[in-house]
A and B are shown apart, each in its own frame.
Chain A
C-alpha cells in the first residue's frame, strides 16, 4: 500500500512540476544599471581601470593630454547610458555618466575620472579632517575619508564600512567601525573601533568588524571576505618612512570567527606595502597583502613599540626593500608601482579574531619618500 502511495506521489510530483513550468511567466525587464567594463583608446593607461558601484577611475600619466577622450563602456543588459559610450569629452576634470536600467525605473550616476597616476604622490601628510557621507537612495550611512589635491580634485580612502552596512544598516555613522572623531591629536582624527555585527553578522560568519582604513578599494565578497579589500593605488615615488600619532585601547574580551571567547589581548596594526601590480595581481587583497611575490618593500609597526593606554603616542616605521628587488625608474615615473597604507583596530580582524571595543585613533600621518 505504501508502494502505491509512493507511486501516486511521484506521478503527482511530475504533474505538478509540469504545471509549474508551464506557468513561468515572461521575464521582467532588467533592473540593474551597472557599468560592467570600460576601455579607452589613444591614451596609455598606467594601471587597470577601477570600477566600483558609482565610480570609474582610469589611471594615466600626468603629462598626457586629457582634453578629448572617448571612453567606452559595457553596461547591464538592456540599460542605456548618457552621455553615450564612445562620445568625446574633456576629462581634465571628472565627468558624470548616468546609467538607466532596462525597465527605466532605476538610474545610477557614475563619476568617470582620468586621474594622474602620481596624483596621490603629492601628499606628504594625512590629517583626516575631511569626511563626506556614503549616500544610497537619499540616505546617509557612513563616513568616507577623502583628501583634496592642490587642483581641487579629491581622492578617497577605502574602508570596510560597506560590509558593516550590509548587516547593520541602521547604525549611525559614528557607530561604524571606521569613522571620524573630534578628539584628534590635532583637529579631527581617524577612529577605528572593532564592532560586533550582531546575530546577522554571525550568520554570515563575520561576527565582528574591525575598523580599517587603507589606500585601495572595497568590494564585498561574502564567500571570501579577505578578498573584499583591494589594496593599492598608483604611486610614483619610493616611500621610505611613515610616521604619525596613535592612541590604542584593546577591548575586554577576544573572540574568534565562531564568536567564542579566546585568550589573549587584542592588538592593532599599521603597515605599508609598496608593490608592482601585474596582470594576474593588479591589486593585493587580504590573502596576500604581506606575502605576494610582487611586493617590493614593506614597513610595519613593530609590536614592541606599541603602547595601549589613553594617551597619544608618536610612531614611525621604515619601508624596507625586499631582497633581490629593484625599482625601475621609468616604470616608477609612469605609475606602474602601487602603494597601500593599512590601519586596523584588530590585527586579526581580517579573519574575524579580535575584541569588540578595541579602539585605534590615528592622526597626522607623515609620508617620507625619495624620488
Chain B
C-alpha cells in the first residue's frame, strides 16, 4: 500500500508537534499565565493522535463469514482547538480544525457477496464466494463543533457534530481463492485460484462530505498535557448515494486517541 501525500504530511506534522510540545514544557510558566489572563475564557489546544477504527457495515451482513485479518493502520491526526469557557460556568463551546487520516485494511471470507467491477463502460457483475481484501485510506479535513463540560480540575468531556471534507482517498482491493458466479448465483462459474485476482478500485466513489457525531473526553495529566479520546461516528455511508456496487453501507467509525497540549 502506497502511503499517500497526506499520510506523510500528517506523520511529519505529528513528529514536529510532539517535539515542540516537549520543549514547550520547559518554558517559563509565567509567560503562559500572561497569555491565559490576556485571553480571558479562551483556551487553545494542539492535539495529536491516531485514528483507530474502520468503515464497517452495521450489523455485519450475512455475506461476511469470517474476518481473517483486520488492521486499523497508523492513521495520524493533528488538530487545533479553540474553546471558549463561559464565565463562572463549567460549560464551554469549542471549534477545531483537524487534519486526519482514516484507514483500515481487512481480509474476509465472504459467501455470495455481490460485487460489480466497473472499468470504463464495462462491468463484471456477480456473486463471489471466497476471499475478499479491502484497503481504505483517506485524508479528511474535519471541523468539529462541540459542547464541553468541565468535571473538576482534571476531567473534561464533550459532545458535538463534525463535518469532514475529503482531501484524498482510496478504496481498493481484490478477490481471490474463490468462485464468481457471473450475473446471478446460477450464472457461469468463474474460478479464481492460485494467484489470480480480480481487483477493484472504488476510490472515485468516496463521498466528498461526511457528517459525524462526536463524543470525547480529556484527562489532564500535567499542567499542559492531557490525554484525550474522541469517538467519531459517521452518519451514513462513506460512499456517494449513487454507488450501489457494495450492497450495504459502510459507516466510518473512528476513535482518535492521543495527547493534547494546552497553551
Residues of A at under 8 Å CB distance from B? 1, 5-6, 8-9, 12-13, 16-17, 20-21, 23-28, 31-34, 53, 101, 106-108, 136-137, 162, 165-170, 198-201, 203-204, 219-223
The chain B residue with its CB closest to the CB of A54 is: B186
A200 close to B124 (CB less than 8 A) = yes
Q: How many A-B residue pairs have C-beta atoms within 8 angstroms? Tell me.
A: 138
B122 close to A27 (CB less than 8 A) = no
Knowing A13-B70, A203-B199 are in contact, say whether A31-B112 is a contact too (CB < 8 A). Answer: yes
B-chain residues with CB within 8 Å of residue A32 when the two chains form the complex: 181, 185-186
Q: Nearest 6 CB-CB pairs, A to B?
A: A31-B185, A200-B122, A223-B196, A28-B62, A200-B119, A199-B119
| Contact for A13 among B56, B71, B123, B191, CB less than 8 A | B71
B215 at the interface (CB under 8 A from A): no
A-chain residues with CB within 8 Å of residue B184 when the two chains form the complex: 106, 136-137
**CB proximity of A258 to chain B, nearest CB, Å:** 16
**CB proximity of A164 to chain B, nearest CB, Å:** 11
A106 close to B186 (CB less than 8 A) = yes
B-chain residues with CB within 8 Å of residue A8 when the two chains form the complex: 50, 52, 257
In whole angstroms, what is the CA distance A245 to B249 when docked? 57
**CB proximity of B99 to chain A, nearest CB, Å:** 17
A222 close to B191 (CB less than 8 A) = yes
A-chain residues with CB within 8 Å of residue B67 when the two chains form the complex: 17, 20-21, 24
B-chain residues with CB within 8 Å of residue A137 when the two chains form the complex: 183-184, 187
**CB proximity of A165 to chain B, nearest CB, Å:** 7
B127 close to A169 (CB less than 8 A) = no
**CB proximity of A186 to chain B, nearest CB, Å:** 34
B66 close to A24 (CB less than 8 A) = yes
A136 close to B111 (CB less than 8 A) = no
B-chain residues with CB within 8 Å of residue A165 when the two chains form the complex: 182, 188
B191 close to A223 (CB less than 8 A) = yes
A26 close to B62 (CB less than 8 A) = yes
B-chain residues with CB within 8 Å of residue A27 when the two chains form the complex: 62, 65, 111
B92 at the interface (CB under 8 A from A): no
The chain B residue with its CB closest to the CB of A221 is: B191
**CB proximity of B72 to chain A, nearest CB, Å:** 6
A-chain residues with CB within 8 Å of residue B195 when the two chains form the complex: 223
| Contact for B50 among A9, A23, A53, A108, CB less than 8 A | A9
In whole angstroms, what is the CA distance A34 to B53 when docked? 40
Residues of B at under 8 Å CB distance from A? 18, 49-50, 52-54, 56, 59-67, 70-72, 74, 111-112, 117, 119-125, 127, 181-196, 198-199, 255, 257-259
A to B CB contacts below 8 Å, 14 in the list: A5-B257, A16-B54, A16-B70, A20-B70, A25-B61, A26-B62, A101-B185, A107-B186, A162-B188, A169-B125, A198-B119, A204-B198, A222-B192, A223-B195
- Excluding A32-B181, A166-B190, A199-B120, 5 further A-B contacts by CB distance (< 8 Å) are A16-B53, A17-B70, A24-B67, A31-B127, A220-B189
Q: Which among B56, B188, B192 has the highest number of chain A CB atoms within 10 Å?
A: B188
A168 close to B122 (CB less than 8 A) = yes
In whole angstroms, what is the CA distance A194 to B39 when docked? 76
B-chain residues with CB within 8 Å of residue A1 when the two chains form the complex: 18, 259
A-chain residues with CB within 8 Å of residue B70 when the two chains form the complex: 13, 16-17, 20
A-chain residues with CB within 8 Å of residue B60 when the two chains form the complex: 20, 23-25
A-chain residues with CB within 8 Å of residue B190 when the two chains form the complex: 166, 220, 222
**CB proximity of B52 to chain A, nearest CB, Å:** 4
In whole angstroms, what is the CA distance A166 to B64 when docked? 24
B255 close to A223 (CB less than 8 A) = no
B188 close to A9 (CB less than 8 A) = no
B189 close to A219 (CB less than 8 A) = yes
A5 close to B50 (CB less than 8 A) = yes
Q: Which among B121, B187, B199 has the highest number of chain A CB atoms within 10 Å?
A: B187
A169 close to B183 (CB less than 8 A) = yes
A24 close to B65 (CB less than 8 A) = yes
B-chain residues with CB within 8 Å of residue A21 when the two chains form the complex: 67
B123 close to A16 (CB less than 8 A) = no
The chain A residue with its CB closest to the CB of B179 is: A32
In whole angstroms, what is the CA distance A137 to B127 when docked? 14
B-chain residues with CB within 8 Å of residue A136 when the two chains form the complex: 182-184, 187-188
**CB proximity of B54 to chain A, nearest CB, Å:** 7
B-chain residues with CB within 8 Å of residue A222 when the two chains form the complex: 190-192, 196, 198
A-chain residues with CB within 8 Å of residue B50 when the two chains form the complex: 5, 8-9
In whole angstroms, what is the CA distance A167 to B120 when docked? 11
A-chain residues with CB within 8 Å of residue B74 when the two chains form the complex: 6, 9
In whole angstroms, what is the CA distance A203 to B193 when docked? 16
A200 close to B120 (CB less than 8 A) = yes
| Contact for A203 among B119, B125, B194, B258, CB less than 8 A | B119
In whole angstroms, what is the CA distance A358 to B197 when docked? 29
In whole angstroms, what is the CA distance A20 to B125 when docked? 27
A-chain residues with CB within 8 Å of residue B52 when the two chains form the complex: 8-9, 12-13, 16
B-chain residues with CB within 8 Å of residue A12 when the two chains form the complex: 52, 72, 255, 257
A-chain residues with CB within 8 Å of residue B49 when the two chains form the complex: 5
The chain A residue with its CB closest to the CB of B76 is: A5
B-chain residues with CB within 8 Å of residue A162 when the two chains form the complex: 188
The chain A residue with its CB closest to the CB of B64 is: A24
In whole angstroms, what is the CA distance A6 to B76 when docked? 12
B188 close to A33 (CB less than 8 A) = no
| Contact for B59 among A25, A199, A203, A219, CB less than 8 A | A25
A16 close to B122 (CB less than 8 A) = no
B-chain residues with CB within 8 Å of residue A223 when the two chains form the complex: 191-196
**CB proximity of A61 to chain B, nearest CB, Å:** 31
**CB proximity of A31 to chain B, nearest CB, Å:** 4
**CB proximity of A151 to chain B, nearest CB, Å:** 30
Knowing A5-B257, A32-B185, A221-B191 are in contact, say whether A198-B120 is a contact too (CB < 8 A). Answer: yes
